[in-house]
Structure formats: structure tokens, C-alpha cells
Amino acid sequence: MYNHASSTGSAFPAVEFDAEIIGKLSQSGPRYTSYPTADRFQPEFGYGQFLEAVAGLRMRRSSRPLSLYIHIPFCDTVCYYCGCNKIVTKDHSKAATYLDYLKQEIDMQGRLFAGMGKLEQLHFGGGTPTYLSDRQMGDLMAHLHASFDFAPDQQGEYSIEIDPRTVSVERVHSLRKQGFNRISLGVQDFDPDVQKAVNRIQPEAETRAVIDAARDAGFRSISIDLIYGLPKQSMTSMEQTLDKVIAANPDRIALYNYAHLPHLFKPQRRISEDDLPTPAVKLDLLALCIRRLCAAGYVYIGMDHFAKPDDELAVAQRQGRLQRNFQGYSTRAESELISCGVSAISAVGATYSQNEKTLEGYYEKLDEGRLPVVRGIKLENDDLLRRILIQKLMCNFELSIGSIEQSFPIRFSEYFATELQKLKAFEEDGLLIVEPDWITVTPKGRLLIRNICMVFDRYLSQPRLGEAQPLRYSKTI
Ligand code: SF4
């Protein structure tokens, strides 16, 4: 009988690196920040359907907490590896226009959700949220506080992604005063040659000064983003970067896999393919990162995340409370996610909805006096079932079949007969164990969790017309 981490509250989930299995199974696949994934959203779902979803919540007198995502799309310069939806410009007046419209959207959403749950989570992402000036940020935060009922600082998780190249020590203190209590810093790699190859020159001293300032200012959690697979990276350079990261002692580390997809992301065409590590070296880099971070005391949370054992993420995982949303892993209970800004995705009730992707379209919809929702999806019962199942596997590496049968009127073994059959191959490779009441992902299977979840994704067997399936997603490892 396997020892179920979340049911006993005992073992820390561990991870085991098996190059042979990873090499055999690595393929393109979704990251499951949502299910169904965003490429399944439909243009028939618009503003009207979003309003219906909110009305449904009101009718059910929902008091689920609210989570708010604010998208600031601007960046001063482009990092060549970037695959984000951003606008690179040095013309900061564009941000002022954007803020005018963003505030209109925030007002509308604030009125729609008035009197519903408290706001317990706020996340600023981009682009570069700190592209906004200190004054603009203060003004925007005041606007948000006037539109939503924020939970007290101790109870809420208020985070911002910052680019250390754009903030001073004073600015970090100011962000804390403006209400943020978590911070995540893009670092990617400390090596000067790698930084040059990706057009992101960020001296180590500058990053360390920001981290020290965040600690002094009283941020509750400091997170660092790294990327493996970048041009000019080698085992030696990565060793040195990891030494520096571990010395900086962040609470969380996100380690992303660089997906070189120059046909999809134009800036990546400026990366010379000759400078990229070979697939074999890339796997060695990943193995090195996992080994070093685990040896330094970090817990492998899942996908690309590591945290200190006493960080809320690791605690929530041990207690089976971990969630997965568009910002990655989260400790918050199920909440309604309202997202404001160009291209932002909301998750309200049993729906997902996405805003206009271009600034022009976004402004145009708001000028018409309506929310800029242009696509989305209303989840059917089967979607809701599979979403919970994928969430549980992603967050806890195990699934209680009994708890699924209690929540949904199905007999698991019959409903998922095909999927259970497909899982047999993973079981033979030692990636998971299927028992009558549990599906448990082994330490060896944890790095391949996306592959395991893909078995339960019914949309993957329905390719969209005219789309080359393997090109839409990044590699699972
Ligand atoms: S990686 Fe971040 S800072 Fe760099 S271009 Fe992309 S969004 Fe902007």
C-alpha cells in the first residue's frame, strides 16, 4: 500500500530523475493552468455569457473568495527567449492611456462583484508590472481598494512580478507600502554570457540588492524565476548560477524549461540555434538543478516549482490544499478569478473567458461601454470532472477515486475505462500505481505529470482543424 502524502500529512513529495524515461516520453503537451486549455476557448462565448456566469453566482449567493489578476503588458526591452503576450516600447505615455482603460474595466468588474466574497488574492503580471511608475502603481492600487473589499494583509496573498532592472531599493519598499506582500523576480540566469545571448543584462549585485530590500521591507515570500535550456548555458555556468541562487535564499524557485519555438515567437529568432544546449545537455541541466535545489533543502512542489519546506506552498501541498491556476500553484481555496487587462483570462463559476488580445480591440470594447471579453468556454459536467481530476494529480500527485465518486455520479472504473487502460503503460514504466481506491504518481513519475494528465484530457483526441497539434504546446520536459 502506498503512503498517501496528503492523507497522512507525512512524507514530503520527492522527485526522482530518470533520463531514459524522460527521453522516451518527452513530447509536447499543455501546462494545465486551465482545463480545458485556452486553445479550446470559443468566439461564441462573449460578454453576455460572462454576465450570465456572474448572475448565476449571485443567484446561488456564492461567497467564494475573489482572486484578481491585473495584466500590465509593457516592457522596456525585449528578452529574446520571451513567449509572453507583451508590448515592447520605451514610450511610457502608452502606459498612461492603458491605465485609463484598465481602471474603467476594474470599475465595471468591481460593480459586478459588489457584495460577493472578499478579495483574498491579487496578482500583477505581464509584461513588466514595474513598467508603471511608483505614482501610477500607487494610484492603481488605491483604485483597486476602492473597487474591491480586500482581506487584511495577514490573510491575503498580494503578489507582483518584478523585473529587478526596473526597480530601486526605495521602489521595493514602496511596493510593500502599496499593499503587496509577495514578490517574484525574473532572474533566468546569472551568467553574463547567457544574459548577453538573451538580451537581458542584469548584474547579480542589482538582483541581490532587490532581494535584500524585499526582506527588509517585510515581503512574506520571495520567489526567483530561472530558465534552463537557454543559449550559452553549460553545466559549469549553471552550477555557478545555482550557487548564487541558493546563497540568495529565496522562499520559492520556479525553474522553467526554455521552449525554442521561433515560428511562434518572433524574438526567439534572434537566438542562434548553435548556442542552444543539446537535448542531452538540457536534461543534464535539469537533473543538476533538481539535485542542487533538493540538496539545499527545497521541496519539489510539482511541474517547475520548488519551495522551502516551511513555505505556504509546501505546507499546503502536505495538507492537500494546493490549487493550480493561471499563476501556477496557489494556496488559496477555490476562488472566482477576475482578470483585468489586455488578453487576461478569468475563471468565474463554470466558465473561462478571455479579453481582447490587442490594445486597439481592448480599448474599442471599453469605449462601447462593455467588458472586453471576446472568447471563452462554459464547462460541461465532463469538463468539471476532468478539471478536478487533473488539478488533484498536478497538485498532490495522487487521486482518491472514492472522493471523485462521491462528488460526481459516476463509477470511475467504467467512466474512465479507456484512460485506465492507457495508464497501464505508465504503470509498467514505474511512473504511477493504480489501486482500486487511489491513483498515485511515484517520485519517478512526478516530472512527467503533464504526460499523465494528458491521458485524461478528452480534447487532445479532437485536434482543431487546420492546426498542427504538436506545435501548440511546449515540451513536457
Ligand atoms: S521576459 Fe518578461 S521582461 Fe522580458 S520581454 Fe518577456 S515579458 Fe518582457
Instruction: List pLDDT tens digits, range 21-63.
Output: 888 887 888 989 899 999 999 999 999 999 999 999 999 988 8
For residue range 89-111, list pLDDT tens digits in order.
999 999 999 999 999 999 999 99
User: How much is the pTM?
Assistant: 0.93
3-state secondary structure the chain: CCCCHHHHCCCCCCCCCCHHHHHHHCCECCCCCCCCCHHHCECCCCHHHHHHHHHHHHHCCCCCCEEEEEEECEECCCCCCCCCCCEECCCCHHHHHHHHHHHHHHHHHHHHCCCCCCEEEEEEEECCHHHCCHHHHHHHHHHHHHHCCECCCCCCEEEEEECHHHCCHHHHHHHHHCCCCEEEEEEECCCHHHHHHCCCCCCHHHHHHHHHHHHHHCCCEEEEEEEECCCCCCHHHHHHHHHHHHHHCCCEEEEEECCCCCCCCHHHHHCCHHHCCCHHHHHHHHHHHHHHHHHCCCEEEECCEEECCCCHHHHHHHCCCCEEECCEEECCCCCEEEEECCCCEEEECCEEEEECCCHHHHHHHHHCCCCCEEEEEECCHHHHHHHHHHHHHHHHCEEEHHHHHHHCCCCHHHHCHHHHHHHHHHHHCCCEEECCCEEEECCCCHHHHHHHHHCCCHHHHCCCCCCCHHHCCCECC
Task: Output the nine-digit C-alpha cell for 435.
Answer: 489501486
Rounded to the nearest angstrom, the distance between the alpha carbon of 84 and the centre of ligand 1 is 7
**Atom 4 (ligand 1) nearest CA:** 79
pLDDT of residue 9: 40
**Atom 2 (ligand 1) nearest CA:** 127
- Give the pLDDT band (50/70/90) at residue 8: very low
Average pLDDT, stretch 224-231?
97
**Has residue 67 got a pLDDT over 70?**
yes
Q: d(Cα 100, Cα 409) in Å, to the nearest integer?
A: 48
pLDDT of residue 476: 65
Give percent of the chain above pLDDT 90. 81
> Which residue from 75, 89, 256 has its CB within 8 A of the most atoms of ligand 1, so it is best to mutate?
75
Give percent of the chain above pLDDT 70. 94
pLDDT of residue 463: 64
Q: Is the dihedral angle over the CA atoms 30, 35, 37, 40 positive or is it negative?
A: positive
**Has residue 436 got a pLDDT over 80?**
yes
pLDDT of residue 304: 87
pLDDT of residue 189: 96
Average pLDDT, stretch 365-392?
96
For residue range 310-334, list pLDDT tens digits in order.
998 999 888 888 888 777 788 876 8
Average pLDDT, stretch 269-284?
94
Q: d(Cα 391, Cα 67) in Å, to the nearest integer?
A: 18
pLDDT of residue 193: 97
pLDDT of residue 291: 93
Q: Which atom of ligand 1 is nearest to the CA of 200?
A: 4
pLDDT of residue 465: 47
Q: d(Cα 255, Cα 238) in Å, to the nearest integer?
A: 12
Q: d(Cα 139, Cα 122) in Å, to the nearest integer?
A: 16
C-alpha distances in Å from residue 280, one per residue of 229, 249, 255, 256, 286: 10, 29, 18, 17, 10
pLDDT of residue 471: 47
Q: Which atom of ligand 1 is nearest to the CA of 75?
A: 8
- Long-range contacts made by residues 263-268, C-beta under 8 angstroms, separation at least 24? 263/471, 264/83, 264/471, 265/82, 265/83, 267/78, 267/79, 267/80, 267/81, 267/82, 268/80, 268/81, 268/82, 268/83
Residue count of the chain? 477
Average pLDDT, stretch 453-476?
71
Estimate to the nearest angstrom the gap between the alpha carbon of 306 and the chain centroid.
Answer: 13
> Which residue from 74, 76, 78 has its CB within 8 A of the most atoms of ligand 1, so it is best to mutate?
78
On the CB side of 111, CA atoms within 13 Å amount to 8
pLDDT of residue 409: 95
Rounded to the nearest angstrom, the distance between the alpha carbon of 82 and the centre of ligand 1 is 6
Q: Which atom of ligand 1 is nearest to the CA of 186?
A: 2
Task: Output the nine-digit C-alpha cell for 217.
Answer: 521591507
Average of per-residue pLDDT values in the chain: 92
Choice between 197 and 477, residue whose per-residue pLDDT is larger = 197
Amino acid symbol at 412: F
C-alpha distances in Å from residue 5, one per residue of 291, 397, 401, 419, 449: 21, 9, 15, 24, 16
Average pLDDT, stretch 341-350?
96
Measuring from each residue's beta carbon to the nearest atom of ligand 1, which residues come in under 6 Å?
A: 75, 78-79, 82, 84, 86, 126-128, 163, 186
Rounded to the nearest angstrom, the distance between the alpha carbon of 78 and the centre of ligand 1 is 6
Q: Which atom of ligand 1 is nearest to the CA of 188?
A: 1
pLDDT of residue 22: 87
**Has residue 117 got a pLDDT over 50?**
yes
**Has residue 403 got a pLDDT over 80?**
yes
